[in-house]
Structure 1
Amino acid sequence: MAPVILALPTDDRVRAHAFYRDLGFDAVGTPAEDGVPEPLQVVVNDGLHLMFVPRGGFGWVTGGREVAAPGTAECLLGLSAATDAEVDTVFARAEAAGATVVERPTAPPWGGYSATFADPDGHLWQVATPPGQS
């Protein structure tokens, strides 16, 4: 089965490409004149690709629906981690790549271990171990 492709708006394709490259995700496709694949897709895993559509054209892709302002949380993208150390590693990579820190790695009262950050376009990510797994 082909991967799910989740499309997200971006204000800057080059910046989005650099952030996700530095986070450790590979981009797929042939580079355009700006050196970034068009369309910009990064591989999260075999089942999920993220596709970044310039914010100005996102409404065209979504049938004219309003595009949320940068930093508006419409969804939370989640990455599962096998260990607390893996949460720390992914979070450190994201912060080094320019993520905005939302919540540093912590053990929440409901269990597990997690950290939350926002990419340069404000899309929220949480990397976490499930309760009872860490």
Structure 2
Amino acid sequence: MKPKISIITLGVDDLDRATRFYADGLGLPRYEFEDGNISFFSLEGTWLALYPRDELARDIGLDASSPTGFSGITLAHNVASKEEVNAVLAQAVAAGATVVKPAEEVFWGGYSGYFQDPEGHYWEVAFNPYEDLT
């Protein structure tokens, strides 16, 4: 297996709302796809897909009606400075996200905060002074 993640797919309850959040709110480049039942965003090194949660569960073979909580997964977006962390968090909030952990100095020497998108997915926005992950 190659050390690469090709596509990250988020199961969403409201595809239109989620698509607007990522395309219009965060400014991710949307890939125009003829089937209107999925949204793709071309990122650097990977793709982000948004797909209706119930259909994604069905595709996997799971019961979509089972209760869900924290899935144990977060997505991370690294930036080049503390100021950029604050700017991205503000951009996410302006687009409809909720800050769940304001940006702060963290134990490993970086600076990060978390937001939750309108569909409930958690994103960390971080500045790492030791490794360029931007």
Instruction: Report TM bin, short chain.
Output: 0.7 to 0.9
Quote the residue 1:80 is aligned against: 78
Asked whether the 8 Å contact 2:15–2:38 carries over to 1, the reply is no
- Once the two structures are superposed, what CA deviation does each residue of 1:13-37 show, in whole Å capped at 9, x if it has no partner? 11001111211212112366xxxx5
The Cα shift of 1:75 comes to 0.5
Asked whether the 8 Å contact 1:87–1:115 carries over to 2, the reply is yes
Quote the residue 1:117 is aligned against: 115
SS at match of 2:106: coil
Q: Using the alignment, how far apart are the partners of 2:70 and 2:17 within structure 1? A: 19
Quote the residue 2:8 is aligned against: 6
TM-score, structure 1 normalization: 0.82
- Once the two structures are superposed, what CA deviation does each residue of 1:74-117 show, in whole Å capped at 9, x if it has no partner? 31101111111111111110011111111111112321110100
Q: Using the alignment, how far apart are the partners of 1:8 and 1:83 within structure 2? A: 27
In the alignment, does 2:15 pair up with 1:24? no
Q: Using the alignment, how far apart are the partners of 1:71 and 1:87 within structure 2? A: 26
Q: Using the alignment, how far apart are the partners of 1:69 and 1:53 within structure 2? A: 18
Structure 1 residue identity aligned to 2:59: V
Percent sequence identity over matched residues? Answer: 35
Q: Using the alignment, how far apart are the partners of 1:69 and 1:48 within structure 2? A: 29
Q: Note the aligned Cα RMSD (angstroms).
A: 2.5
Greater than 3 Å deviation, 4+ residue runs: 66-71
Quote the residue 1:51 is aligned against: 49
The Cα shift of 1:66 comes to 4.3
**Which consecutive residues of structure 2, in runs of 5 or more, have no partner in the other structure?**
none
TM-score, structure 2 normalization: 0.82
In the alignment, does 2:38 pair up with 1:39? yes
